[in-house]
């Protein structure tokens, strides 16, 4: 049931992962990442190829362990420029400054020439289009000479500033070394070298981090009112493959929908005989900013509205169009209590041409921030499916992409539309419930479970299963739901929702467990996410440690006030019996009134992230061992909100002497539970046992249940 939006100015007094202040757009700015000859994220371009002309060096560094060492072209080829460069995302019309520390190498110092400055620092704006085309725009250059390097082997900071062109979406930052070219040119022009370190381009959207209480945004308030949302993309009326037409005579099976524990349907309910109070939303494929007459009677139950899909927000025209649509939708008054958002493909650097010769695909952080400033969405959303692909992407690599995307959207949602972190907005994602040519394999039970619980660990509060029922062939003849049987003309009834599959049961169970934690999750806000790394077999059958995804950090004792160690043991044979990863998501209370007089209570979710393309949740079960040092806190037990039962349990810790304790837990593959140190404060959102339930449990079991907090 949809509730009216209430006041959204509640304060939170909890330390959260607020924006870090200055945001450097340069990857590997200190040249610390690489393999000697190769410096990660930097392209090395030689006028006449000599692989020794650019490499990592430890000889002269400004900070860290490495710097770049860049030399002019070979003596027999004077006049050719060597350089290193990197592409960074930018927003049109914004000012950017590229700065870098450079030092002249005493063994081959910079000298002046007759034709070219010996060193240049450049920023060139470009327009990239999804077809792969690149258009060079304005270039800004700072020329450097021998006099700029008063002493050799000594670092000096240099910079160049320029305004991004109206159509710019990327910039090349470049460090050139020409050798200067004296005149007349000697037969063997001596090589010259510089060191480079600590490159920096600040985001145009860097803001001073907010340090006071946070405000509850419109999107978060709607989720507080309506709960954790697990939606499903529905095509209704159903498409009949025999007639090639939509079949308006086949009724939608609302009882089946309820059995799947879906909270929201992502389709208009005007012609579906929806139950009273059924939450719904839709994806709008055009720029209409009002609700149609047929949908007006159901407006009070409309939780969310998505505008279009997978627009590439690096395209300036899309951002302008988005800003106009959001402004118009708000001005209409139809969506005052509806979450307005759009969805992006999660892989930031993947773009393609789509309908109307427009750009589609993933969006870089800088482009998303530009969109957030101008459109002010109520929620961020993405799709990235971490399961089997036709191109044979390894499951490990797909999981890295999934966790990296979750981290990006978590970070941006915490920054909020103004970038300060004062008013975080929620984020959500699409979940895979389909197969097609690119994703030919249906997710396993453990993968179905992990998609959801990984999202909750990273702080997501909204998810949509794509897709609940199969769409018509205009979406592709190979695109089918995994939740219902689809046998084409051999079984005409299969195009409806009357033949649920085993995958439907897996999905229903994942939804049910998620909703058991939902009332708590919407009252919490993510403060940190850490990964207990697992193991895997590489192509040579050698056991390796799972790598961390981008923007993910390994768990260590500094992440937690009391836990000193976390280890996992694989209880089955999946993954060769090797331990899988464990995700640890930390949260603070969104509003301190939710747990009474307590302040700064810390919650955490443990997710057994072991899943395989064929593994069930039981096949991927792990034992999680935790060790604690409680110091002088007096804490001797945890509270657990059990995702299976939905009940709040007390877990006494095993005392190992002094302030040391341990606890062993068993979690199914892909599954998580929510925990809190038992400080005596209420557990926000936990269910209150009904009197009849308490009587049935008896006094002995009553100690396992705790009362629900206020709020």
pLDDT tens, position by position, 426-464: 999 999 999 988 888 899 999 999 999 999 999 999 999
126 and 168 Cβ atoms separated by less than 8 Å: yes
Split at pLDDT 50, 70, 90, the class of 496 is confident
Mean pLDDT of 159-175: 97
The pLDDT value given to residue 183 = 57
Q: Is the pLDDT of residue 398 over 90?
A: no
pLDDT at position 18 over 90: no
Q: Where in the chain is the domain with CATH 3.20.20?
A: 218-518
Which string of DSSP letters, residue by residue, matches 71-88? EPPPTTSTTPPEEEEEEE
What is the dihedral sign for C-alpha 667, 672, 674, 675?
A: positive
Averaged pLDDT, 495-509: 93
Percent pLDDT > 70 in the chain is 89
pLDDT of 507-527, one tens digit each? 999 999 999 999 999 999 999
Give the confidence band of 25 by pLDDT, cuts at 50, 70, 90.
very high
> In angstroms, rounded to a whole number, what is the distance separating the alpha carbons of residues 414 and 409?
8
Q: Tell me: the pLDDT tens digits for 607-639?
A: 999 999 999 999 999 999 999 999 999 999 999
Q: In the chain, helix, strand, coil percent, each to 5?
A: 20, 30, 50
372, 449, 383, 360: which is closest to 411 by C-alpha? Answer: 372
- What confidence tier does 44 reach under pLDDT thresholds 50, 70, 90? confident
pLDDT for 51 equals 66
| Residue 487 confidence class, pLDDT cut points 50, 70, 90 | low
Per DSSP, the three-state class of 256 is helix
666 vs 673: CA distance, rounded Å: 10
Domain 218-518 has CATH 3.30.70: no
Top-level class of domain 43-201: mainly beta
**Cβ–Cβ < 8 Å for 483, 463:** no
Bridge partners, 565 (sequence order) = 627
SS (H, E, C) 93-107: CCEEEEEEEEEECCC
pLDDT at 485: 87
| More confident of the two residues 113 and 498 | 498
| Residue 355: pLDDT over 80 | no
Query: Would you say residue 181 has pLDDT above 90?
Result: no
Locate the DSSP E strands across 238-358: 238-240, 245-247, 264-266, 279-284, 302-307, 339-341, 344-345, 351-353
Query: What is the pLDDT confidence band of residue 5, given thresholds at 50, 70 and 90?
Result: very low
DSSP codes joined into one string, 460-512: --EEEEE-SS---GGG-TT-EESSB---GGG-GGGGSSSSB-HHHHHHHHHHH
Please give the Cα distance from 158 to 500 (Å, whole number).
64
Q: Tell me what pLDDT residue 606 has.
A: 98
pLDDT in tens, 557-596: 999 999 999 999 999 999 999 999 999 999 999 988 888 8
3-state secondary structure of 222: helix
**pLDDT value, residue 22:** 75
Of 3-12, 451-460, 487-496, 677-686, minimum mean pLDDT range:
3-12
Q: To the nearest 10°, the Cα dihedral for 2, 452, 362, 590?
A: 60
Chain-wide mean pLDDT for the chain? Answer: 89
Beta strands in 520-614 (DSSP E): 524-532, 535-537, 543-545, 553-554, 563-570, 582-589, 603-608
- pLDDT confidence of residue 709: 40
pTM of the model: 0.92
Q: Please check the confidence at residue 701 and state whether its pLDDT lies above 80.
A: no
- The tokens describing 202, both together, are 């600040």
Least trusted range by pLDDT, from 29-38, 109-118, 226-235, 298-307? 109-118
Tokens matching residue 304: 């969310």
10 Å CB burial of residue 225 (0-12, 13-18, 19+) is middle
Which residues, listed in sequence order, are joined to residue 240 by a DSSP beta bridge?
Answer: 245
Q: pLDDT by residue (tens digit) across 303-342?
A: 999 999 999 999 999 999 999 999 999 999 999 999 999 9
Between these two residues, 423 and 592, which has the higher pLDDT value? 423
pLDDT band at 3 (very low <50, low <70, confident <90, very high): very low
The pLDDT value given to residue 613: 93
Q: pLDDT digits over 189-242, tens only?
A: 678 899 999 999 999 998 888 887 889 999 999 999 999 999 999 989 988 877
What's the pLDDT band for 706 if we cut at 50, 70, 90? very low
pLDDT given for residue 691 in this prediction: 44
pLDDT digit string (tens) for 267-294? 999 889 999 999 999 999 999 999 999 9
- Ordered strands of the 156-163 beta sheet: 54-57, 67-71, 193-201, 95-104, 156-163
Separation CA 365–CA 201 (nearest Å): 14
Q: CB–CB of 425/377 below 8 Å?
A: yes
Lowest mean pLDDT: which of 11-25, 103-117, 319-333, 427-441? 11-25
* Residue 710, pLDDT above cutoff 80: no
Q: 171: closest CA among 251, 252, 90?
A: 90
Pairing of β 229-233 and β 462-466:
parallel
Q: Determine contact, residues 53/39, Cβ cutoff 8 Å.
A: no
Backbone angles phi, psi at 657, to 5 degrees: 110, 140
Q: Where are the beta strands (DSSP E) in 221-310?
A: 229-233, 238-240, 245-247, 264-266, 279-284, 302-307
According to CATH, where is 2.60.120.260 located in the chain? 43-201
What is the number of other CB atoms lying within 10 angstroms of the CB of residue 143?
15
């Amino acid at each position: 049931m949809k509730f009216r939006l209430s006041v959204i100015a509640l304060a939170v007094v909890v330390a959260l992962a607020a924006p870090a202040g200055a945001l450097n757009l340069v990857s590997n700015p200190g040249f610390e990442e690489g393999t000697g000859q190769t410096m990660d994220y930097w392209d090395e371009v030689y006028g006449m190829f000599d692989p020794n002309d650019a490499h990592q060096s430890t000889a002269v560094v400004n900070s860290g362990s490495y710097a770049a060492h860049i030399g002019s072209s070979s003596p027999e080829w004077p006049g050719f420029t060597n350089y290193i460069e990197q592409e960074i995302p930018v927003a049109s019309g914004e000012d950017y400054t590229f700065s870098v520390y450079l030092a002249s190498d005493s063994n081959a110092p910079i000298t002046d020439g007759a034709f070219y400055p010996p060193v240049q620092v450049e920023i060139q704006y470009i327009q990239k289009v999804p077809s792969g085309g690149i258009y060079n725009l304005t270039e800004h250059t700072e020329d450097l000479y021998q006099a700029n390097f008063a002493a050799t082997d000594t670092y000096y900071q240099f910079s160049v500033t320029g305004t991004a062109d109206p159509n710019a979406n990327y910039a090349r930052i470049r460090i050139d070394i020409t050798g200067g070219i004296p005149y007349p040119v000697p037969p063997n022009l001596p090589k010259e070298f510089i060191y480079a370190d600590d490159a920096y381009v600040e985001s145009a959207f860097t803001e001073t981090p907010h340090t006071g209480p946070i405000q509850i945004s419109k999107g978060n308030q709607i989720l507080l009112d309506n709960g954790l949302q697990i939606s499903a993309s529905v095509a209704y009326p159903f498409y009949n493959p025999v007639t090639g037409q939509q079949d308006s005579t086949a009724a939608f099976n609302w009882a089946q929908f309820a059995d799947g524990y879906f909270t929201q349907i992502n389709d208009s309910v005007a012609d579906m005989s929806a139950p009273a109070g059924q939450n719904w939303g839709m994806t709008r494929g055009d720029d209409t900013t009002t609700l149609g007459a047929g949908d007006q009677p159901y407006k009070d139950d409309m939780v969310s509205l998505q505008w279009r899909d997978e627009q590439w927000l690096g395209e300036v025209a899309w951002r302008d169009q988005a800003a106009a649509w959001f402004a118009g939708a708000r001005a209409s008054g139809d969506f005052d209590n509806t979450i307005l958002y759009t969805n992006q493909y999660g892989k930031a650097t993947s773009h393609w041409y789509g309908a109307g010769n427009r750009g589609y695909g993933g969006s870089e952080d800088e482009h998303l921030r530009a969109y957030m400033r101008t459109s002010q969405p109520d929620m961020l959303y993405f799709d990235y499916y971490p399961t089997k692909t036709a191109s044979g992407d390894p499951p490990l690599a797909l999981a890295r992409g999934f966790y990296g995307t979750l981290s990006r959207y978590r970070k941006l949602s915490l920054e909020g539309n103004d970038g300060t972190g004062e008013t975080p907005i929620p984020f959500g994602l699409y979940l895979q419930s389909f197969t097609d040519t690119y994703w030919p394999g249906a997710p396993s039970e453990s993968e179905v479970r992990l998609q959801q619980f990984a999202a909750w660990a990273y702080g997501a509060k909204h998810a949509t299963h794509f897709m609940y029922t199969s769409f018509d062939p205009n979406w592709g003849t190979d695109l089918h739901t995994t939740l219902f049987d689809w046998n084409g003309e051999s079984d005409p009834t299969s195009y409806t929702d009357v033949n649920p599959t085993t995958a439907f049961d897996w999905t229903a169970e994942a939804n049910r467990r998620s909703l058991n934690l939902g009332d708590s999750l919407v009252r919490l806000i993510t403060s940190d996410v850490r990964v207990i790394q697992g193991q895997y077999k590489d192509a040579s059958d050698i056991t390796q440690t799972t790598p961390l995804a981008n923007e993910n950090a390994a768990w260590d004792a500094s992440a937690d006030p009391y836990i000193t160690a976390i280890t996992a043991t694989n209880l089955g044979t999946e993954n060769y019996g090797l331990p899988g990863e464990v995700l640890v998501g930390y949260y603070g209370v969104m509003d301190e009134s939710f747990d009474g007089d307590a302040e700064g209570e810390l919650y955490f979710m443990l997710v057994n992230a072991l899943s395989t393309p064929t593994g069930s949740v039981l096949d991927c079960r792990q034992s999680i061992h935790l060790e604690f040092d409680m110091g002088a806190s007096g804490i001797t037990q945890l509270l657990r909100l059990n995702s299976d039962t939905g009940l709040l349990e007390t877990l006494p810790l095993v005392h190992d002497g002094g302030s040391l304790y341990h606890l062993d837990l068993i979690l199914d593959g892909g599954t998580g539970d929510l925990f809190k140190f038992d400080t005596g404060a209420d557990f926000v959102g936990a269910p209150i046992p009904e009197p009849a339930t308490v009587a049935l449990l008896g006094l002995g079991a009553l100690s396992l249940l705790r009362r629900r907090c206020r709020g």
